Structure 1
Amino acid sequence: MQIQSGFLVFLVFYTLITLVLLHAVYRTSQLIVDEEFHLRQGEHFCRGRFHVWDPKITTFPGLYLISASLLGPFKACSVYALRLTSAIASIVNAYFIFIIRRTVVGKQEDARVLLESISLAILPPLYFFSHLYYTDVLSVTMVLMMIYFSLKEKHNYGALLAFFAIMMRQTNIVWVGYILGWRALDLAMKLCLPNENHQYRLRDLLTTVQTLLGSRFMFVRVIKLIFSSYYGYILNILAFMAFLYWNGSIVVGDKSAHVAAIHLPQIFYFTLFFATFSGSELLTLLPRVLRLVRNRWYITAFGMALFAWIVQQNTIVHPYLLADNRHYTFYVWNRFFGRWWFARYLPVPIYYGIVVSLAFLLFAQHNGRPPLIVSSLVWIVATVASVALQQLIEVRYFILPFLVLRLVQPNVRPSRKLVAFEVAFNLTVNVVTFYIFFTKEFYWSDYREPQRLIW
């Protein structure tokens, strides 16, 4: 009860600070980068002009429909009101982050859950966009709610939220697939291994596959149960596949700048993102990682050589990355990765170390808790699908893979001091990024308003 009160206190402070920052951001600038398209479209829908559509917009109209539903009846269609929808969604996100983590870990870990929830709620890239009118924050809201209802075995609600998640961003289809894949495989294993204690290992998954391939009766039984239990997720996926066939692309509107391509180094960039904002877990795993890297030096050498080859063969530099100096990634690339030919290879040992850490996190037993083998495998597939098919390096693409992993996987139980350090680090990064946003400005020739730095 005490920890619940602690979370409510945090939520009150979080709400107040978010609203204060929302006002400060509005006073500083009323148009940030691609908000130009979102704000204009949001106003059209808010005022009932549903026939108007900007061809530059590449996502489904979920964000604008929400704005129309919430703001339209009150004729509150200003920039401030539209941005307020993101701020409110971020408060909802903070709540669902807490209750999802509490559902996964249990009430006995409430003190650590509270600290983790604070850390994830103030995740700097997500928190920054909570004060702008982009699709990302509401997209996270819908995915978090879908995950929560799935964990609670309320799959009809989960499927409804899956539809809303897809309407926010098409790429959320991979997280609908994640939920369906996790639940379907878990159901299959429980049916094929009825005498097990549900603490599965990888060999149990292989045994399940062999059983299904070897028994037509069991295969049909499992398929029927999957359809009857999770038909809502399946219908969402089938409808999305029909859309892909009809549209010819996952993108609506302007397809030219968002052509899918295999871009494996994006996985490495995601590992850097994960390491930056998951210090508590990586520092806890560091001794085990260092022992493995040292004792299996030949595997380490091969792995780093493979990573370097992937960097050499598959690095894609999107024109937007080189042209738009309003994002931090522009400066990281132009002042480091793109400045010297060898610079992009320097982080390879770091990539490898973080990948090993993720392998421990996903597949090793922690504090007597078995790994969620099925969830881990499906998370890898979903993450690769959502990240490695994007040409443009954009930190916002990493938010959902990061949150899903941190929320759903068993906890490595870092010390409270380490989690508190992670909270302090995220808070510091937020302070610095908002300070830069408020104080540094520059001008583009085709914009009257000053431009500012964002994630």
Structure 2
Amino acid sequence: MLLLQQISSFSDLCSTAILRSVNGVLAVLCSILIYETITELWPALDRKRATFYAVILSLYPLHWFFTYLYYTDVASLIVFLAMYLMSLKKRYLLSALLGALAVCIRQTNIIWMFFVACTSVIDLIMNHQRHRGHTQKSNVTIGEKTLISPKEDFSANPGFRRRKGKSTVDDPTRVVPRETAMSRSQLSGLIDEIQLILVQGWHLKWELLVSFSPFLVVLAAFVAFVCWNGSIVLGAKEAHAVSPHFAQILYFAIVSAMFSAPFHFTLDRAISLLQSFWKHRPSSFALLFGASAASLLSVHFFSIAHPYLLADNRHYPFYIWRKVIRAHWSVKYLLVPLYVYSWMSIVNILGKTKSRIWVLAYFLASAVTLVPAPLVEFRYYTIPFFIFMLNCANYENSKWLLMGVLFVGVNVFTLWMFLFRPFHWDHEP
């Protein structure tokens, strides 16, 4: 009798309402983690603005909508943010443990755990190099940027303040680059950064091995799991077969740029990109040509229409695919300039606060996560979008407010569609 009562109680706990409320509780925790990550990355930012930005990011439609459903997206984002935050605090063992949990929730998180580990290695080496043989006031020039402390960069901005008890000098995640006119003749960019990482990494190999061995253990365990399971996924392996879906990385760029439109599709942003291209010609134009050619090849040869995408008309991607991309044979090619612009804008914004090798790691992690996925699913873009927004260091309140209005508008429309436009299929009861 007692056993039956316990079973009944467990059944009540697993009711639809209770299970759906789990993500609502997790969403509150996610907001706190977003705030903590913002303040850890940019400690000179005052608390009111950090809270303001955290609230807006919490309204991100692809995250917000799933707080009302019982699915893994919210939990996956929370554990990733916790893992990222612990790595910023240099608590690598705890970060690796959280990475293992993130992988258990969603297997592709192994790539984002590897990204966090790699960027932590980059930060540690940059930190060591910056303090090696330099005075406290000296700057380290890398590529075409001079790394300075946020204290120097933000002191003139009334929206920022110094925080007591936080070191802003010895943490590379708190470094904000500033472009210099002389740096182009001093270093040759990405190749020099890679060389610096390799050389200094070799000198610090034992320190790095000790600090980051927990990540290697998780990675080895994941490789063993894939060998045992025969696939990276636990569910329907046939439906999630690895495919060369290179167009997916283009869809991510435009979707992310659209959701953060005030940061990308403005006159000052277009002028800034044009000036950057003109300043670094002809290499920038060669890069633009290569990116455009690669994008054209991707949409022509590697645009995959997954059966789930074509069969399920309850999702926005179905209508975007049918009414936009497939509206005419030429549309997918006409969208290429927008894809390229979106990626160029993302890279340019990140490049103002991050080293080239960090931006390259971000692009590669996004590509390795998204390209093998044959299904066009905007949920897959959540983690790379949050990484971009947390590291973009754009503190124009008006743009954040406009983005918040955009998020609220999309959320209200989606909720209205979900509640008041139900589907009725004749073959379904």
Q: Normalising by structure 2, what TM-score? A: 0.79
The residue correspondences of 1:39-438 to structure 2 (distance < 5 A) are: 75-191=12-128, 194-195=132-133, 200-201=142-143, 202-209=190-197, 211=199, 219=202, 222-282=204-264, 283=266, 285-292=269-276, 299=286, 300=288, 303-363=291-351, 365=352, 370-407=353-390, 409-413=391-395, 415-438=396-419
Contact 2:34/2:54 (CA < 8 Å) preserved in 1? yes
The SS at the match of 2:71 is coil
Q: CA deviation at 1:116?
A: 2.1
Q: Distance in 2 between matches of 1:210 and 1:236?
A: 23
Contact 1:321/1:393 (CA < 8 Å) preserved in 2? yes
Q: Distance in 2 between matches of 1:195 and 1:378?
A: 27
Flag the 1:382–1:301 CA change in 2: closer, same or farther, 3 A. closer
Per-residue CA deviations over 1:196-233 (Å, capped at 9, x if unaligned) read 65664435423325636xxxxx73x5332122112222
The SS at the match of 2:424 is coil
Flag the 1:124–1:371 CA change in 2: closer, same or farther, 3 A. same
Q: Distance in 2 between matches of 1:184 and 1:149?
A: 14
The SS at the match of 1:258 is coil
Contact 1:180/1:234 (CA < 8 Å) preserved in 2? no
Contact 1:178/1:379 (CA < 8 Å) preserved in 2? yes
Contact 1:189/1:204 (CA < 8 Å) preserved in 2? no
Q: Distance in 2 between matches of 1:137 and 1:302?
A: 36
Q: Which runs of 5+ in 2 are unaligned?
A: 1-5, 144-189
Q: Distance in 1 between matches of 2:34 and 2:79?
A: 12
Q: CA deviation at 1:445?
A: 4.6
Contact 1:260/1:389 (CA < 8 Å) preserved in 2? yes
Residue 443 (structure 1) aligns with: 424
Q: Identity of paired residues, percent? A: 28
Contact 2:122/2:197 (CA < 8 Å) preserved in 1? no
Flag the 1:232–1:429 CA change in 2: closer, same or farther, 3 A. same
Q: CA deviation at 1:355?
A: 1.5
Q: CA deviation at 1:294?
A: 7.5
Q: Distance in 2 between matches of 1:200 and 1:109?
A: 28
Residue 10 (structure 1) aligns with: none
Flag the 1:198–1:399 CA change in 2: closer, same or farther, 3 A. farther
Q: Distance in 2 between matches of 1:423 and 1:322?
A: 31
Q: Distance in 1 between matches of 2:223 and 2:142?
A: 32
Letter in 2 for 1:335: K
Q: CA deviation at 1:186?
A: 3.1
Q: CA deviation at 1:410?
A: 4.5
Q: CA deviation at 1:83?
A: 0.9
Q: Distance in 1 between matches of 2:140 and 2:119?
A: 14
Q: Distance in 2 between matches of 1:332 and 1:191?
A: 48
How many residue pairs get aligned? The number is: 367
Contact 1:105/1:410 (CA < 8 Å) preserved in 2? no
Q: Distance in 2 between matches of 1:175 and 1:294?
A: 34
Per-residue CA deviations over 1:59-100 (Å, capped at 9, x if unaligned) read xxxxxxxxxxxx95x951101111111111111111111111
